[in-house]
Amino acid sequence: MHIFVQVIVLWTGMIYAFPAGTNSNVVLESPISTNTIQRIYETSEIKDNEETRLLKKVFLSNRSITCNDGSQAGFYLRKSHSSKTWIIYLEGGWYCFDQQTCRNRWLRQRHFMTSSQWPETRNEGGILSPNEEENPFWWNANHVFVPYCTSDSWSGSRKSRDEMFTFMGTLIVQQVVKDLVPLGLKNSTKLLLTGSSAGAVGVMINLDPTRALLNDVLNLKQIEVRGVADSGWFLDRTPYAPTLRPAVDAIRKGMQLWHAKVPKRCRKIYGSEPWNCYFGYRLYPTLKTPLFIFQWLFDEVQMNADNVGAPVTKQQWDYIHKMGDALRQSFENVSAVFAPSCISHSVLTKKDWLNVKIEDVSLPQALYCWERQHLKPRKKKHNRGPSIASEESTLFSHRLNRKFKNFDLLEQRNATSDDERTSHKRKRRKRRRKERGKERKCCTFKGQNERCESNVAPQNQRSRRSVLKAQKGSNSEVCSHRRLERCTWPQCNRSCPRLHNPFTGDEMDFIELLKSFGLDMESVADALGIDMPTFNNMDPSELLNLLTQQSS
Ligand SMILES: *[C@@H]1O[C@H](CO)[C@@H](O)[C@H](O)[C@H]1NC(C)=O
Ligand SMILES: *[C@@H]1O[C@H](CO)[C@@H](O)[C@H](O)[C@H]1NC(C)=O
Ligand SMILES: *[C@@H]1O[C@H](CO)[C@@H](O)[C@H](O)[C@H]1NC(C)=O
Ligand SMILES: *[C@@H]1O[C@H](CO)[C@@H](O)[C@H](O)[C@H]1NC(C)=O
Ligand SMILES: *[C@@H]1O[C@H](CO)[C@@H](O)[C@H](O)[C@H]1NC(C)=O
């Protein structure tokens, strides 16, 4: 027992050992360490693949919309002539909220405040990858990467400089959308506004306004707008230990500095306390546009914000467990959510995102299923209560289940989207082979799409608990949009991203990690009541299970 606690200390100690450190002051101004590690790790891996087409830099047409330092803002674009789906991705990277934190950011993380060093091209992974193996459902979509250079969680509208900086995050999002219209967005049918971390907060804050801009102001009503928020759903619980700068205070200050804009409906509810709208669980019920939430149950940024640091005591671990429980509860009324029980932060543009699974369904599969389910929102607007919408959705699930009883979720991985089918001659033969197997799949090929379409509920439903319960009894796992991992221990599942050794960048297996710290495996075995030969022959995953069970 005691040994196990030690193990965990060392192991999480690794995560926090890297430059960002455990000091919450430092952390507040820097992106989380493992991200950096992963980025270094990933960029060194870029293959010289002739199929890889890079994202190309485009500056905004309106030169007065700028990064913090007054340099021109912009985006990176890879067009796909054969696709009518667009994915806009908002980059993350924390924020700064007053003179001091912004000056520090300027000194230490200038790349988050200026476009002056932007390269001509970029290569991003995950949902922005053009590689079919890495990104089976959206490799052929139109991809837009928007670098984060305003330090305002994409919510600012400050055009005049304070002492040094402007904060025009929300203006950038609007201008990106406007500039994309003549580049092909005009003819599209679907826009996914996505983002990670601060970018995910940006998604939530800019989602309804983006839809209004496209559907109402620009009158492009055929474009269905949806949001995907990765790792930006935070809770403002009482921290484990008092912090010098609680997140709420920082946001309050930041909002003034940034001349922040939050969505109207939320602002109306919270009146003089608009900072509330930066927290997903408060903002979400006010949103009109469909939103998919991804969140690690043990998000590193959340753990830092709660000042629980590298846990060394039972009390700290209890706090972390409760943090996971609270997060699970906060998803009670969220209709589309994917929350694995891992210690990590962000996922959408990571190369190995296909490995992120809950009960054998990968995140991209779940996301794709959600994205496809409702192709066209009904014309009818707000007079539809959420309960009716949910019931329709339940009905839809039942029909779906009857129809696709034998539906094998794993097969979805091999499915190609409509978009993909229209392009790339050299893939045609492969594709034809795939077509044959398609009949049984939901929402992945035309015939079924039509069926899906005719039965679907409008997207602005926010399911009520009773309805969710009703759904649970049925076989509705098929296209379930709510996936919350059941096990409560961080890293309890092997599909969690590998932890990386911060010094070498190498992946580490749990057992390797223990050994690398010179842990005496004999005493571990002893503590578990297993003899050494058995211990050595044990399947690592079995051992991991054993260890995690011992601890709770
Ligand atoms: C450019 O953006 C600024 C700041 O939002 C705005 O005041 C101005 O009208 C815009 N100019 C054009 C030509 O759209
Ligand atoms: C939209 O589609 C029309 C007809 O197919 C084409 O003429 C036009 O150039 C397209 N516009 C853009 C911006 O791609
Ligand atoms: C979910 O909705 C119900 C009914 O509106 C409400 O009472 C409950 O507090 C909500 N749960 C969360 C976590 O917001
Ligand atoms: C881990 O995931 C697998 C497959 O997704 C699942 O069967 C298993 O129950 C999970 N483990 C725990 C401890 O929840
Ligand atoms: C998916 O495709 C791979 C290779 O293309 C194949 O080995 C695998 O059996 C396929 N899976 C299913 C479920 O069809």
> How far is 163 from 102, CA to CA, in rounded Å?
10
Q: 197, 344, 417, 476: which is the annotated catalytic residue?
A: 197
- Would the pLDDT of 10 be above 50? no
58 C-alpha vs ligand 2 centroid, how far in Å?
Answer: 20
- Would the pLDDT of 307 be above 70? yes
Ligand 4 atom showing the smallest separation from residue 359 Cα: 5
CA dihedral 8→13→14→16, nearest 10 degrees, is 140
Q: Is 136 exposed, middle or buried (0-12, 13-18, 19+ CB in 10 A)?
A: buried
Ligand 5 atom showing the smallest separation from residue 437 Cα: 14
Residue 485's pLDDT band (boundaries 50, 70, 90)? confident
Residue 400's pLDDT band (boundaries 50, 70, 90)? very low
Question: Atom 10 in ligand 3: which residue has the minimum CA distance?
Answer: 333
**Model pLDDT, residue 313:** 61
137 C-alpha vs ligand 5 centroid, how far in Å?
Answer: 15
Ligand 3 atom showing the smallest separation from residue 464 Cα: 2
> How far is 297 from 488, CA to CA, in rounded Å?
9
Other CB atoms within 10 Å distance of the CB of residue 143: 26
Q: 143, 345, 374, 481: which is the annotated catalytic residue?
A: 345
Q: Is the CB of 181 under 6 A from ligand 2?
A: no
Terminal Cα-to-Cα distance of the chain (whole angstroms): 10
Ligand 3 binding residues, C-beta < 6 A: 281, 329-330, 332-333
Q: 299, 397, 463, 476: which is the annotated catalytic residue?
A: 299
Q: Is residue 466 domain-resident?
A: no
- Would the pLDDT of 338 be above 50? yes
Question: Atom 4 in ligand 5: which residue has the minimum CA distance?
Answer: 414
Between the CA of residue 51 and those of 108, 188, 248, 382, 433, what are the distances in Å? 36, 24, 45, 45, 21
Domain boundary, last residue among 324, 354, 372: 372
- Would the pLDDT of 382 be above 50? no
User: Average per-residue pLDDT in the chain?
Assistant: 73
Question: Atom 7 in ligand 5: which residue has the minimum CA distance?
Answer: 414
Q: Is residue 356 domain-resident?
A: yes
238 C-alpha vs ligand 4 centroid, how far in Å?
Answer: 30
In this structure, the answer to whether residues 133 and 280 fall within a common structural domain is yes
Contacts of 195 (CB under 8 A, 6+ apart): 89, 90, 91, 92, 154, 201, 202, 203, 228, 229, 230, 232, 348
In this structure, the answer to whether residues 368 and 505 fall within a common structural domain is no
pLDDT in tens, 136-169: 999 999 999 999 999 999 999 999 886 789 999 9
* Least confident range of 70-79, 206-215, 319-328: 319-328
Q: What is the mean pLDDT of residues 383-410?
A: 32
Beta pairing partners, 167: 158
3-state SS class at 535: helix
In this structure, the answer to whether residues 508 and 365 fall within a common structural domain is no
Q: Is the CB of 143 under 6 A from ligand 4?
A: no
Tokens 């101004």 sit at which residue?
A: 29
400 C-alpha vs ligand 5 centroid, how far in Å?
Answer: 23
Question: Atom 3 in ligand 1: which residue has the minimum CA distance?
Answer: 64
Q: What is the mean pLDDT of residues 454-483?
A: 42
pLDDT in tens, 178-200: 999 999 999 999 999 999 999 99
Q: Is residue 332 domain-resident?
A: yes
Q: What is the CATH number of the domain that holds 171?
A: 3.40.50
| Number of domains the chain is built from | 2
Q: Is residue 310 domain-resident?
A: yes
Question: Atom 6 in ligand 3: which residue has the minimum CA distance?
Answer: 333
433 C-alpha vs ligand 4 centroid, how far in Å?
Answer: 33
486 C-alpha vs ligand 4 centroid, how far in Å?
Answer: 8
Q: What is the mean pLDDT of residues 219-243?
A: 92
Owning domain of residue 190: 51-372
Q: Is 367 exposed, middle or buried (0-12, 13-18, 19+ CB in 10 A)?
A: buried
* Least confident range of 329-338, 346-355, 458-467: 458-467
Ligand 1 binding residues, C-beta < 6 A: 62, 64-65, 159, 171
Q: Is the CB of 182 under 6 A from ligand 2?
A: yes
Percent of the chain clearing pLDDT 70 (strictly above) = 60
Question: Atom 14 in ligand 1: which residue has the minimum CA distance?
Answer: 62
Domain boundary, last residue among 372, 398, 432: 372
Residue 242's pLDDT band (boundaries 50, 70, 90)? confident
Ligand 3 atom showing the smallest separation from residue 330 Cα: 13
Contacts of 75 (CB under 8 A, 6+ apart): 57, 58, 60, 88, 144, 145, 146, 147, 176, 179
Ligand 3 atom showing the smallest separation from residue 332 Cα: 13
- Yes or no: say if 93 and 113 are a contact pair by the CB < 8 Å rule: no
- Would the pLDDT of 3 be above 60? no
Quick one: which H or E segment has residue 102?
A: helix 99-108
pLDDT in tens, 270-301: 999 999 999 999 999 999 999 999 999 888 88
**Which ligand minimizes its atom distance to the CA of 285?**
3
367 C-alpha vs ligand 5 centroid, how far in Å?
Answer: 20
Q: Say which residue, 461 or 371, is predicted with more confidence.
A: 371
> How far is 335 from 300, CA to CA, in rounded Å?
24
Is 397 noted as a catalytic residue in this protein? no
Is 345 noted as a catalytic residue in this protein? yes
- Would the pLDDT of 106 be above 60? yes
Q: In whole angstroms, how large is the CA radius of gyration of the chain?
A: 23
3-state SS class at 339: strand
506 C-alpha vs ligand 1 centroid, how far in Å?
Answer: 47
**Model pLDDT, residue 96:** 96
- Would the pLDDT of 489 be above 80? no
Which residue from 414, 434, 440 has its CB within 8 A of the most atoms of ligand 5, so it is best to mutate? 414
Ligand 2 atom showing the smallest separation from residue 187 Cα: 1
Q: Is the CB of 21 under 6 A from ligand 2?
A: no
Q: Is 338 exposed, middle or buried (0-12, 13-18, 19+ CB in 10 A)?
A: buried
**Which ligand minimizes its atom distance to the CA of 136?**
5
**Model pLDDT, residue 524:** 63
- Would the pLDDT of 39 be above 70? no
Q: Is residue 79 domain-resident?
A: yes
Q: Is 309 left (phi over 0), alpha (psi -120 to 50) or beta?
A: left
Q: What is the mean pLDDT of residues 540-552?
A: 56
Q: Is residue 145 domain-resident?
A: yes
Q: Say which residue, 120 or 540, is predicted with more confidence.
A: 120
> How far is 252 from 110, CA to CA, in rounded Å?
23
Question: Atom 6 in ligand 4: which residue has the minimum CA distance?
Answer: 359
Residue 472's pLDDT band (boundaries 50, 70, 90)? very low
470 C-alpha vs ligand 1 centroid, how far in Å?
Answer: 50
pLDDT in tens, 409-434: 323 333 333 343 334 444 444 444 44
- The b-or-e profile of 315-336 (16+ CB within 10 A means b, else e) is ebbebbbebbeebbebbeebbb
198 closest CA partner among 350, 67, 92 = 92
Q: Is residue 546 domain-resident?
A: yes
**Model pLDDT, residue 379:** 42
3-state SS class at 82: coil
**Model pLDDT, residue 344:** 82
Residue 407 C-beta-side C-alpha neighbours within 13 Å: 27
352 C-alpha vs ligand 5 centroid, how far in Å?
Answer: 18
Q: What is the mean pLDDT of residues 221-245?
A: 90
pTM: 0.71
* Least confident range of 293-302, 431-440, 496-505, 526-535: 431-440
> How far is 106 from 96, CA to CA, in rounded Å?
10
DSSP β-ladder status, 224-230 and 190-196 = parallel
Beta strand extents in 181-284 (DSSP E only) = 190-196, 224-230
Ligand 5 atom showing the smallest separation from residue 411 Cα: 13
**Which ligand minimizes its atom distance to the CA of 438?**
5
Is 306 noted as a catalytic residue in this protein? no
Q: Is residue 490 domain-resident?
A: no
- Tell me the three-class secondary structure of 14-72, residue by residue: HHHHCCCCCCHHHHHHCCCHHHHHHHHHHHCCCCCCCCCCCEEEEECCCCCCECCCCCE
Domain boundary, last residue among 372, 389, 418: 372
Contacts of 102 (CB under 8 A, 6+ apart): 68, 96, 113, 151, 164, 165, 257
**Which ligand minimizes its atom distance to the CA of 72?**
1
**Which ligand minimizes its atom distance to the CA of 436?**
5
Tokens 């230490």 sit at which residue?
A: 108
